[in-house]
Structure 1
Amino acid sequence: MRTTAPLVALLAASALVLTGCTGGGSSGADQKSTLTVLTPSSTFLIDPASSQNLATTSLSFLDRRLTTWDVKKGQDAKVVPDLATSTGTAGDDGKTWTYTLKDGLKFSDGSPITSESIKYGIERSFSDQLQGGLSYHKTLLEGGSDYKGPFDGESLDSIETPDAKTIVFHLNKAFGDWPWIASMPAFSPVKESNGNPATYKKAPITSGPYKVQSIKDGTSVTLVRNKYWSKATDSVRTAEADQVVFQESQNQNTVVQNLVNDTGSFKTAFGAQYLGASDLAAVNGNPSAKSRLATSQAGPIQYLAINTRRGDLQQLKVRQALEYAVDKKAYLVASGGSNAGAYASTLITPGIAGRQDYDLYPAPESGDVAKAKSLLSSAGVTGLKLTLLTQNDAASLAEAQAIQQGLKRAGITVTLKTEDVDSFSTDVAKSNPDFDLALSSWQPDFPSANANISPLFDSSQIGNGNFNLSQYANKDVDTAIAAAQAEVDQTKAQAQWAAIDKRIMQDAPIVPLTYAKNSFLHGSGVGNFFIPSFPAYPDYMTLTIEQ
């Protein structure tokens, strides 16, 4: 997913569950069990067609999808059936995917969930009235590039529903990761009578274990049980809390302090935003709070993008010089130290199946200045001057200054160009951007190397708001990416992606800096709070509250 902006947006709404209750019923207690989620976001993006929500976070409590993720501590994430009976049956060498729905599926109004409602939910995502959602399926489905949604009565013929329980997808190319695509928000069923974008976000008819009771814009969203949800059809969600209340527009400092104090309702609450360096200092100074801190393994990649089409940076030796000149130690310190990340050398992030660890540019943590100078001399480049684009917040500026000082040691002069988050997000993704270097980060939208590599290094992803920030174009790499995407056998595909990873790094289009770690704080009444290998966020679907 795009992480040039803070990762907070991904956690705009999340939910926990209470142990000891049965799905679809009451806890049997006089007082309803309530979990409070504290989020800085002022908006809960309820419409799945507009959401980039991960399968393990907020919308999974309101919406089910054809598939979902099964994440466990210390294990790679797996794609598993959700509404469907399997993760999909491939045909036509991976260009056709067929799903059969489980028996007894119902919406929160008691009506049956059908293949047609899933087709309609996907079709809605093509409308200009619903923007911002993940769009992988839009480029993969036949006819998707010309389709404008169902609100003018048009249907997308590449999605077939031969009966109420069967749905068939016809793709314009083989795509072995389609089971992961089917876990994205747009694959949630939507009733046509409830599909108006203007009204859906106020009164959605849901398919998950909860439904919306009330929405107070910018203040709170309250979810209560969907009595028609059946645990018998859902192998992943426990959904044992009676209600979940999202408290929005929360000040992060106040959230951390309340959770550190751990009194009253904050005992059964957690913060939806990962902690920054100052937050971690406050938590680590309190033994009780420190015991309630969960820190992820190394995950999302933080990197320095090198504009491979600019001046001397077109030379491989110059880019390789940057690999050695960067002071990763200083960058990590500026980022918050070992609590904030671990040193990176590959493109595929930890927690992705098939990842191979390697380092084509071995050097001390602070870099190898002599090696960098030697490469620049060999390239005939002296007095190299570069512009580094970064965001203007204090944390980003500190990280950029660490890069600036590291490169200065090799005789490279770096001028910082700082922008607010919106301007940065626009300018960094232009077709002909005005920068030499840019600091960015990337959390894949699904746990496959495909989602690591293709968006950042396929030449089709240059400019137009896409995220090949290095302007990197290599025909051989493009061909290899296409072959790996088409491979249905995931063991074979993983080996292909690992080889592509190394091939790209031979061209040095980025400097991998760190794999970020995210830390979250919860109250003492919240149990089973862990962060899986992927994603670098807690799995809110299986947490408990300990009375």
Structure 2
Amino acid sequence: MDRRTFLRSVTAAAALTGTGGLLAACNANPAAPAPNSADVAKGGTLYILSDLSVQQLDPAKSQNLAITVLGLVHRRLTSWKIEEGKPATVVPDLATDTGRPSDGGKTWTFTLKDNVKYADGTPIVAADIKYGIERSFAAAFTGGLAYHKKLLAGADAYKGPFEGSELASIEVPDPKTIVFRLTQPYGDWTWIASTPPFAPVPKGKGTDASYTEKPIASGPYQVTSYAKGVEVKLSRNTFWDKGTDEARAGLPDDIVIQLGQQTDIISQRLIADAGNDKFAFSVPFVAPAQLAQIQGNQPAKQRLVTSKSGALAYVTLNTRRPALADPKVRQAFQYAVDKASYQIASAGSAELAGGIATTLITEGIAGREVYDLYPAPPGGDVEKAKQLLREAGHADGIGPLDFVVYNSNNYQKKGEAVQAALLRAGIKTELRVVDSEAWEALVTGNEGTYDLTVSSWQPDFPSATGNIQPLFDTKEIGNGGYNTARYSNPEVDKLITQAQSTVDPVEAGKIWAKADRLIMQDSPVVPLIYTRNSFLHGSKIGNFVIGGFPAYPNFLQVGLTK
């Protein structure tokens, strides 16, 4: 399952991913696309319907993507430009550029733009960026994205600013300049600077847990009221200057986030398209049952927007379990699975579920190469799977294997589809359905007492490092890491370090592609599909666009039609 199922505050549904060259996203009914930018106007109230009870607006605690809710309230040093039909690119946000590397990529320097202010009119200064990042190290403000914590020099022993200390590897020589000194060359630091901890927090603010309810806004909107489990109201930050911000349109006057809504009820409301729901869109993905209903409702079908691609869904094979230690046995799984049946279990149809996957680097990510080391029909090649098992000394098959799945987001049905396919080849499994906490403890903990699981993954930013490093780096085994295959290959670890240290994205992409192939030769996971995410919106919503990455609409550009 996708870790964001229970961590990411943008959505409570699994799927990314992690997820995802970059192509235009598809509307579920291409003949009737969502209104584009020419149809939207400034003004009005936008409604966002969410199944979450809490909207996390503290940048230290948030795992929001750069183009979702947090980006409406907080700016960062860099951001993402997402357009239909064009690649996702990193763009300057509070900074004048996307960062200037030196010392081979171990040092990065940013300069702040003129006329960037908080909602109270106070200028944003470089020290605020430094303090916001330092604040994310405090024990009381954990839970957010933490790539910077492993990369900033001296960060391993740093405990945050509330004990009177500063992180020396973040330097602020003047109010507009900030310098980061890293432990290693890191070409993706320009993307790291777009993650939530790089939002400014005025020094001395955000000292208690209530900051999520009353954050100091730097984006086009500020919080006017926050009722847990009910709603969050946002209004304009009059000091936000569109001339300094190419990532955000800032079109609606007000935004109301309705919390605690049931997922199926959200879909029913948007299908009905009545009252304020005409000016609303859903945060959770549309569930398979509602997708089937929408296909027979032409007006609603015209308002369903589906990503072209998204997260990689895959079967994890725990390489440290005796039955799965032999690579030839693991390769048999590549042929035994029925990817077509997994598509049906996921979304009811191949079109809505997503295309069949054969690689680890998802669509929309630089460095992705299309290849298939284990060519088979969509339904699998059972005889080839049996042949590999015989060659490995298992003429009578293997099992039963412990197959653990998460108890929500249709994962039991998905697991049953995989289970039935494996049985055809003589691979017997026992399906164990657990809740999110148990799944998390089991597959990311240190003991690893399971054989199989089904997961999905989409990177936190559009770089292959997010596809490969969290899932296959030896350092990510146990201790909460997401190397759930418990896969360890020193050559892969070396390629990960080499790719991350390469500043040129084209050259880095070549190294990531090499790592992708090497991992697949060892077969620690079985790629299933590149998932597609479907979202529904009201008839008065315009500029509702999903790019090639990520598989989510760009909240920052949504407006209301004239």
Tell me if TM exceeds 0.5. yes
Q: How does 1:31-46 map to 2 (within 5 A)?
A: 33-46=44-57
- The residue number in structure 2 matching 1:543 is 558
- The residue number in structure 1 matching 2:26 is none
The 2-side partners of 1:195 and 1:10 are apart by 21
Shift in Å at residue 343 of structure 1? 0.7
Amino acid at match of 1:63: H
Q: Which residue, out of 392, 398, 414, partners 1:384?
A: 398
Shift in Å at residue 198 of structure 1? 2.7
- The residue number in structure 2 matching 1:109 is 120
Shift in Å at residue 197 of structure 1? 2.6
- The residue number in structure 2 matching 1:366 is 379
- Structure with the greater relative contact order (CA < 8 A, sep ≥ 6): 1 or 2? 2
The 1-side partners of 2:168 and 2:187 are apart by 21
The 2-side partners of 1:95 and 1:543 are apart by 37
Q: Which residue, out of 183, 205, 225, partners 2:194?
A: 183
1:424 aligns with 2:442: no
Q: Go from structure 1 to structure 2 and tell me whether the alpha carbon gap of 1:276 and 1:406 turns closer, same or farther (over 3 Å shift).
A: same
- The residue number in structure 2 matching 1:10 is 10
Q: Go from structure 1 to structure 2 and tell me whether the alpha carbon gap of 1:126 and 1:42 turns closer, same or farther (over 3 Å shift).
A: same
Amino acid at match of 1:443: Q
Q: How does 1:74-113 map to 2 (within 5 A)?
A: 74-113=85-124
The more displaced of 87-96 and 422-431 is 422-431
Amino acid at match of 2:265: T
- The residue number in structure 2 matching 1:128 is 139
Q: How does 1:377-526 map to 2 (within 5 A)?
A: 377-381=390-394, 382-385=396-399, 386-393=401-408, 395-526=410-541
The 2-side partners of 1:405 and 1:74 are apart by 39
1:321 aligns with 2:342: no
Q: Which residue, out of 158, 164, 173, partners 2:184?
A: 173
Q: Unaligned regions of 5+ residues in structure 2, if any?
A: 14-35
Q: Which residue, out of 20, 35, 41, partners 1:20?
A: 41
Shift in Å at residue 182 of structure 1? 0.2
The 2-side partners of 1:368 and 1:132 are apart by 43
1:52 aligns with 2:73: no
What secondary structure is seen at the aligned counterpart in 2 of 1:389? strand
Shift in Å at residue 74 of structure 1? 2.5
Q: Is this contact kept in 2: 1:76–1:353, CA < 8 A?
A: no
Q: How does 1:524-535 map to 2 (within 5 A)?
A: 524-535=539-550
- The residue number in structure 2 matching 1:356 is 369
CA-to-partner distance for each residue in 1:36-79, whole Å, 9 max, x for gaps?
A: 11111010101000000000000111000000001111322111
- The residue number in structure 2 matching 1:228 is 239
Shift in Å at residue 10 of structure 1? 2.3
CA-to-partner distance for each residue in 1:314-347, whole Å, 9 max, x for gaps?
A: 1111000111111111111111222122211100
- The residue number in structure 1 matching 2:76 is 65
Shift in Å at residue 115 of structure 1? 0.3
Amino acid at match of 2:310: G
Shift in Å at residue 260 of structure 1? 0.9
Q: Is this contact kept in 2: 1:455–1:461, CA < 8 A?
A: yes
Q: Is this contact kept in 1: 2:127–2:203, CA < 8 A?
A: no
Amino acid at match of 1:402: A
The 2-side partners of 1:75 and 1:104 are apart by 29
Q: How does 1:243-322 map to 2 (within 5 A)?
A: 243-322=254-333
Q: Give the percent of matched residue pairs that are identical in Structure 1 and Structure 2.
A: 49
Amino acid at match of 2:415: A
What secondary structure is seen at the aligned counterpart in 2 of 1:398? helix
Q: Is this contact kept in 1: 2:48–2:256, CA < 8 A?
A: yes
Q: CA RMSD of the aligned region, Å?
A: 1.7
Q: Is this contact kept in 1: 2:4–2:11, CA < 8 A?
A: no
Amino acid at match of 2:169: S
Q: Go from structure 1 to structure 2 and tell me whether the alpha carbon gap of 1:394 and 1:136 turns closer, same or farther (over 3 Å shift).
A: closer
Shift in Å at residue 483 of structure 1? 0.3
The 2-side partners of 1:261 and 1:285 are apart by 13
- The residue number in structure 2 matching 1:30 is none
Q: How does 1:214-225 map to 2 (within 5 A)?
A: 214-225=225-236
Q: Unaligned regions of 5+ residues in structure 1, if any?
A: 22-26, 28-32
Shift in Å at residue 12 of structure 1? 7.0
The 1-side partners of 2:50 and 2:514 are apart by 40
Q: Which residue, out of 342, 348, 367, partners 2:355?
A: 342
